[in-house]
Structure formats: structure tokens, C-alpha cells
Amino acid sequence: LKDNPPHYKIRLSGTMKSPKIKFDPPFVMLMPVPLDMKTETAISIIPQDYLRQSRLQVILPELELEDGDRICPLTVQFTEGQDIVLSSDGTNKELICHIGFSSSRPLSFLRNVFFIDEEQN
């Protein structure tokens, strides 16, 4: 046996899960308010399959008005930070985000707000 050590073959298989986030609610509709008044709603961001800490960034839409001015009437605030953290039980902690709207000009629009992690997902 010393001249011919045994060879072992090991077969490994696995499944790779891509990190993702879900939103509750998945669609937000803010109520009309008088000019320069703020309306706001809270959403839950539910991270899934993040194996390490990541930080969310937000891209808000800019709107072009009829006179050519560009404004960003939306705001986003995270009440307890915007870091996705892996808890001791292997799950990711839910994040709470407040989306607000205020404008000095009358407008109505439908746009996407993008939440992006550190790996541009």
C-alpha cells in the first residue's frame, strides 16, 4: 500500500442563490396633496440570500417639466440605516424605508425608484 496509496474521488454539488430584495408593498401610490406639502409612505425592504453585509443605494427619478426645469420631487429615508445585515440565524434583517413626495409645481407621474446593492444588483 505504501507504493500505491488509495485515491478517493469526491463529488460536490451545490446551488448558488443570487441575492435579491422584495418590497412590501411592491407598488406605491402617493395621495395628492396641496403644493409644497409632503406626502409619505413606508415600505418594507426584504433582503433574501445575502451572505454578507451590503449597503443599499437609491436612484431617484428626475422629472423634466414643460419649461425645461428638472426636479426630483421624491425623497427616501431609511429609519434604521440602509445596511443589509446577516443575522445570527442566517436570515437578513428587514429594512424600513420612507418614500416622500413634495412639489411646488402641480405634477403627476409614474416612475421607478431603483434600490441597488454594492455589487450593482
Q: What domains sit in the chain, N to C, each tagged with a CATH number?
A: 20-116 (2.60.40)
Buried b (16+ CB within 10 A) or exposed e, 70-90: eeebbebeeeeebebeeeeee
pTM greater than 0.85 (yes/no):
no
Residue 116 · residue 57 · CB < 8 Å: yes
* Amino acid found at 15: T
User: pLDDT 10s digit of each residue in the chain, 121 long?
Assistant: 566 667 778 888 888 788 899 999 999 999 899 999 999 999 999 999 888 889 999 999 999 988 999 999 999 999 999 999 888 887 899 999 999 999 999 988 999 999 999 888 8
